[in-house]
Structure 1
Amino acid sequence: MAARYEVRHQPGKGYHFVLIATNGQIIATSEHYESHRACLNGIDSVKRNADAPVQDDTTSTGKNS
């Protein structure tokens, strides 16, 4: 099974998505969005921007990896 995004709705909180790995584990959870369309736009944004450098400010140098 391939990784997938799942859109979820919580009354009073709105929509959010989770990214589920191939092993079925949730590996990312989004913020809550007011609309379904905004949630789908959030997924599109992650897809476009997912290939980004890692910035680890917990190291003594704070340099990007």
Structure 2
Amino acid sequence: MGKFEVYIDKGDKYRFRLKASNGQPILASQGYASKASCMNGIESVKKNAGDDAKFLRLTAKDGSPYFDLIAENKQVIGTSQMYSSKESMENGIASVKKNAPSAPIEELS
């Protein structure tokens, strides 16, 4: 089973990452000023992960595919890693859909 990890970055911002059951990070958040805002971000991921329309399939400047997960208000709530292929990116999206809704939250800091 996947899990969310909540931590404080070097700039003292709260962040979360969703990891798959194999330990690989599949979605990472922006920095949040408060822990409560970070937890709201996780709840938004859980709520929106089941809707394929909320996944924006994108391409980086170097041609690498990646995706953003957006909320109802069109704000980005999580960004994936860069993938080597569109197929790998689609597997990442499938992993978020599978893992996010029931993933436990682990606080690292």
TM range (shorter): 0.7 to 0.9
Q: Could you tell me the TM-score, scaled by structure 1's length?
A: 0.75
Q: Which residue of 2 aligns with 1:26?
A: 25
Q: CA deviation at 1:35?
A: 0.3
Structure possessing the higher relative contact order (Cα contacts under 8 Å, 6 or more residues apart): 2
Q: Could you tell me the TM-score, scaled by structure 2's length?
A: 0.47
User: Within the alignment, does 1:44 sit opposite 2:43 as a pair?
Assistant: yes
Q: Which protein shows a greater Rg?
A: 1
Q: Which amino acid aligns with 2:21?
A: T
Number of residue pairs matched? 57
Going from structure 1 to structure 2, the CA distance change for 1:52 and 1:36 (only over 3 Å counts) comes to: same
Q: Structure 1: any 5+ residue segments left out of the alignment?
A: 59-65
- Output the CA distance in 1 between the equivalents of 2:37 and 2:57: 29
